[in-house]
Amino acid sequence: MSGTFNAKVYEVVKDIPEGMVATYGQVAELAGAPRNARFVGFALHRNPEPGIIPCHRVVFRDGSLAPGFAFGGPDEQRRLLEKEGVTFIAPPNQRKNQGQDGFVVDLARCQWRR
DNA sequence: TCACTGACTGTCA
DNA sequence: ATGACAGCCAGTG
């Protein structure tokens, strides 16, 4: 692993407190690459440090989670976040393919703030 | 070594 | 209002 942006992403994600979530764009920005939002997910996709990197705390700009790529299932992910204290809201359909679960993280309340 | 792909986001039509 | 397209950078094959 060429310790680089991707490594920075892991550091940022690990720094997300429980009960809080961060968007890919936000992580990307904290990692020093506001345009690399895509790559943030890519980095987490490899997930070189399973158990150390709470990928489930990283959500879309809309508050929805990664479709189909959840570590154990979108339903499990929602339950886990909810258990950590993350608030979920119902009306998602802001975009087209996002918020398909019908429940998204209430970024207004639980988005991680540095 | 080179080329392609990719958990996204923002803007345009 | 919704739908579709393009852009960005770095890792993986």
Is A110 an annotated catalytic residue?
no
Domain count, chain A: 1
Question: Is any atom of nucleic acid chain B found less than 7 Å from the CB of residue A71?
Answer: yes
Q: Choose, from A37, A55, A65, A81, the residue flagged as catalytic.
A: A55
- What lies within 8 Å, CB to CB, of A62 at 6+ separation is A92, A94, A95, A98, A99, A104
pLDDT tens digit sequence for A75-107: 778 889 999 999 998 766 677 766 666 788 999
- What lies within 8 Å, CB to CB, of A76 at 6+ separation is A70
- Residue A111 confidence (pLDDT) above 80: yes
Question: Is any atom of nucleic acid chain B found less than 7 Å from the CB of residue A39?
Answer: yes
Among all strands, which nt has the closest C1' to A38 (CA)? B8
* Mean residue pLDDT across chain A: 85
Identify the domain containing residue A16 by its residue range.
5-110
A21: left (phi over 0), alpha (psi -120 to 50) or beta: beta
- Cα distance between residue A26 and residue A30, in whole Å: 6
More confident residue, A57 or A75: A57
List the CATH number of the domain containing A85: 1.10.10.10
